[in-house]
Amino acid sequence: MKRMERWPFKHAPSPECLPERARYRHSTRTALSGRSRSTIALAVSVLFLISFLISGCTVAQPTSKEPKTLKVLSYSYQFNEFAALYSITHDDVELSLIRLDEKIQELYQAYDQKIRENPEEANGVDVRTLYDDLLTGPDAPDVVIVDEGIYRYLMQKGELSSLDGYIQKDKFDLNGLAPVVLEALRSPDDGAIYGLSPGFISTVLAYNKDRFDAMGVPYPEDGLTWDELFTLAESVAGDKDGKPYYGLSTSNSLGMISGEPYQLIEFMLKQQGKGLTFPDDGSSPAFLTPEREALWGKMKDLIQRNIVARPYYERMQGKSNMTGEGGLPEEGAQGIEDMPYPPDYGGPFADDDFISGRSAMQLMSYYSIRQIIDIQNNKILFGGDWKGIDFSWDIATFPTAADHSEAGAIVNLTSVYAINANASQPALAWDFIQFVHSDKVMKAKQQTDTYNLFSRVKYNEKPEYDGLHMEAFWSGKPLHDTSNDPLTGNFYGIGMEKDINKYYQAYDSLRQAFKEMLSNNLSPKEALEKAQQTYNQMSNEDPTVPMR
């Protein structure tokens, strides 16, 4: 018997409806800790949303009808965000939460027991089988709230209902939704929409307008190719106050890992359909390919000429003020983020070349853009005499390959709301999904949620964005990647350690080889051969190392 939680609040929310965590990754350099501040902020956000909705409509009054039950499969934090709002305005509906976090915990407990009883048959956990069982079982949910990777898996398996009929019947407005979100939601097989997402995160190119003006170079435009971007970077690179000024850098929020140059190359290869692939027979992927070798050679040249910035922590190797003896700290020693800042590279964002004014352009996600905006509006507090950002800037769309303009930026949906194909209350499930994505709710969320982009793009219009080319976030094309690759954030998440770990092993091998190529002046061919050897040794020694 599957455990479900009843949410019987009708006219006021219970304490349990408050969110358990925030969606925004606050900087650890702020005065309050990220977890405590974000939890408080999101709790206040829900209370504000409730008061906003109540002020604009009449709260549902008790009825004599037997309430309908709508079963929702979701993590608690995803469900809590809108459950209270829906219950307040729908007195005749009782929400029942099937807690996904508990189900996954039970899955792991069963697997641990299996390991103890018969370790030879313990082949890892695949969380996808849990979804298959829950969506087809006797207590099947009506609504499923899932991450993007699971949404694509369930859609491909035929376990979700198309929303197209509901959208047409109720004249639900798709025109106001971000094109990149609709592209990500549509089935590659039949073009139908099987879910909706209230928010998303995307990536763009940020640029320092003052540097471009000083160098007499036109600003970057939407639709740049990578070759055009590198040419621009070379035009604005040089020196500033006797130190290198880079044309381009990558940020720590470019992707789901760290955004180093070798990872940027892997993303460029994915845009061309030439990314890492793992053969079905379990053999190693091919690292030394003509496309990867050419891009490694190109990036090596750009980094050696200070056109593209080498990762900050690598540039700081050997700085005596960081370790006292030169080089990076030993394992278990003080971390990079906790070390004193180099005296000539001061400021609380010393490791960010764009914010610190050392790079003309940077590839970054909305999180980093929002951070810059918060700095400019004094919403992030600092000690000392750091004066913040003192230059004008704007953004353009993420670059594409010259012959693959259809594959653009990394776009991650915050969560997807869909109807189970086996739902007992499909019409009610659509009512819930339509409510979550309604203008009324989005307008209320606009007042409180500053750390996600809204899929209904008109609600991304805010005073602090005046003059900023925000359309760059949603006017390009998203990269369609159906692999479990953590670089693009499309992995199926917890429970897929064995499957995902091969990517981490591969990227770790590439990282080491790329760094050695720069440090020891290896040729791209030599470096990639070393990466292949490292990966083969790593995977043969322990192919099931837990995901880091």
* pLDDT score for 518: 93
Q: What is the pLDDT of residue 523?
A: 97
| Cβ neighbours of 21 (radius 10 Å) | 14
Residue 121: what residue type?
E
- Distance, in Å, from the CA atom of 25 to the CA atom of 39, rounded to the nearest integer, reads 11
- Output the CATH code of domain 205-319+346-410+496-541: 3.40.190.10
At residue 521, the pLDDT reads: 94
d(CA 520, CA 506): 21
Secondary structure (DSSP) of 390-448: -S-EEEEEPPBBTTBTT--B-EEES-EEEEBTT-S-HHHHHHHHHHHTSHHHHHHHHTT
Region of 508 on the Ramachandran plot (φ > 0 left; ψ -120 to 50 alpha; else beta): alpha
Mean pLDDT in each 10-residue stretch from start to end of the chain (548 residues)? 37 32 30 37 51 49 71 90 88 93 87 78 75 92 92 93 97 92 91 95 93 96 95 94 90 57 90 84 88 97 94 68 36 38 54 89 89 79 64 94 80 92 97 94 82 90 89 83 61 54 86 94 96 88 42
pLDDT of residue 235: 97
pTM above 0.85, yes or no: no
**pLDDT for res 384:** 56
Per the CB < 8 A criterion, the answer to whether 158 and 187 are in contact is: no
Amino acid sitting at position 155: M
At what angle are helices 100-117 and 127-136 packed, to 10 degrees?
120
Q: CA 224, CA 399: separation in Å to the nearest integer?
A: 5
The Cα–Cα gap between 96 and 111 comes to 27
Same fold yes or no, 5-198+414-460 and 205-319+346-410+496-541: yes
5-198+414-460: what CATH class?
Answer: alpha beta
Domain segments of the chain: what residues?
5-198+414-460, 205-319+346-410+496-541
